Chain A
C-alpha cells in the first residue's frame, strides 16, 4: 500500500471510530449507563493513536508538500470529532441529577443527528474523492443538519434555564449540551476541510 493510501485508510478508520463513539454516546445517555462512556474514551484514545500514526506518514513524505498541511488539518478535524464526543461523555458522567433527560425529545434528536452526520461522512468518505459533486451535495445536507442541531441546543437551553438545579449539575449539564451540539459543528468543519483537500488534489 502506498503511503498516501495508508493515510486515507487511517482517516477512514478514524471516521468509522467517530460513528461508533457517537452511537455509544447515544446508548449511554438514553440508557443512563455511564459505564459505557469508558468505551467512548477508549475509542478516543484509539483515534489519537491513528492521528499520530497518520501524522508520521505525512511527515515521512506522503502527499505532495503543498497538500500536507490541509491533509493534516483534516486528520485533526476528524480527531476533534472523537475528542468532542469524549468531552460530552465526560461532562455527562459528572451530572448527578439526570432529570433533564426525561421526555427530552430534543436531546434524543441531537444524539441522532450526530450519528447521522458521522454516518454520512464515514460512508461516503472515499466516494467524495472520486465524486466532488457528491461532496457538494453532502455539504448542503451537513449544513442543514448542523443548523437543526444548533436550533435544538438553543431550545434545550431555553427550557433548562427555567429549571431549578444544583450549581454543579447546572454547569455540567450546560457543558454536556454544548459539547453534544459541538459534535455537529466539528463535522461541518471537517467537511469544509475535506472540500479544500478534494479541490486541491
Chain B
C-alpha cells in the first residue's frame, strides 16, 4: 500500500492568529483530529489534540489567550505520495508522531494517522 491510497484528503487549514479555543471548536465541529496552521505561503504547522493538551490545557493556560501559531508543531513531517506504508510507519516511530502529511512537490495532498493505516490494512484484507 502507498501513501496516496490510504491518506485522508480532508485538510482543515486555519489562520495562525485564531485562538486555541477556536481551534478546539473547529476540531469538535468538524469531527477531525488535527488542523494545519498556515504560517506563511507554503509554510505550515500542525496542531493535534496532543498539542492542545500538552502545550495549553495541562499548563493551565486559558485557550482563549493562546494563539494557534504558539502551539503549532513545525516543520511538518511529510512524505511523497508514492511512499510505502512500511516507510511511513518507520518515520512515525522514529519521530514519535502519529500524523504525517502527504505531498506532491510543494502541495500538501492529505494526511495519514495510525487510524488511516489500520483502516487501509483491514479494508485491503476484504477486497
Kindly identify, within residues 105 to 146 of chain A, every residue whose CB is under 8 Å from any CB belonging to chain B. 105-106, 108-109, 116, 119-120, 123-124, 134, 137-138, 140-141, 144-145
- Cα A148 to Cα B119 with chains together (Å): 11
Min Cβ gap B67→A in Å is 23
Contact A144 B122 (CB under 8 A): yes
Chain B CB within 8 A of A154 CB: yes
Contacts of A155 in B (CB 8 A): 10, 29-32
Contacts of A138 in B (CB 8 A): 126
Chain B CB within 8 A of A166 CB: no
B126 to chain A: closest residue by CB: A120
- Cα A201 to Cα B123 with chains together (Å): 26
- Cα A154 to Cα B10 with chains together (Å): 13
Chain B CB within 8 A of A69 CB: no
Contacts of B29 in A (CB 8 A): 154-155, 158
Number of interface residues of B (CB under 8 A): 12
Contacts of A109 in B (CB 8 A): 9-10
Contact B9 A144 (CB under 8 A): no
Chain A CB within 8 A of B127 CB: yes
Q: Give a binary string over A149-161; 1 marks a CB under 8 Å from any B CB, 0 the rest.
A: 0011011001000
- Cα A62 to Cα B117 with chains together (Å): 43
Contact B126 A145 (CB under 8 A): no
Q: A105-B9, A109-B10 are in contact. Are A154 and B31 (CB under 8 A)?
A: yes
Q: Give a binary string over B29-49; 1 marks a CB under 8 Å from any A CB, 0 the rest.
A: 111100000000000000000
Chain A CB within 8 A of B125 CB: yes
- Cα A154 to Cα B27 with chains together (Å): 12
Contact A141 B9 (CB under 8 A): no
Contact B123 A137 (CB under 8 A): no
Contacts of A141 in B (CB 8 A): 119, 122-123, 126
Contacts of A105 in B (CB 8 A): 9-10
Contacts of A148 in B (CB 8 A): 119
Q: Report 12 cross-chain contacts, Cβ distance below 8 Å, ordered by A residue.
A: A120-B127, A137-B122, A137-B126, A138-B126, A141-B123, A144-B119, A145-B123, A151-B32, A154-B30, A155-B29, A155-B32, A158-B30
Q: Which residues in B have some Cβ–Cβ distance to A below 8 Å?
A: 9-10, 29-32, 119, 122-123, 125-127
Q: Which residues in A have some Cβ–Cβ distance to B below 8 Å?
A: 105-106, 108-109, 116, 119-120, 123-124, 134, 137-138, 140-141, 144-145, 148, 151-152, 154-155, 158
Q: Other than A109-B10, A154-B29, give 5 A-B pairs with Cβ distance below 8 A.
A: A137-B125, A141-B122, A141-B123, A151-B32, A155-B10
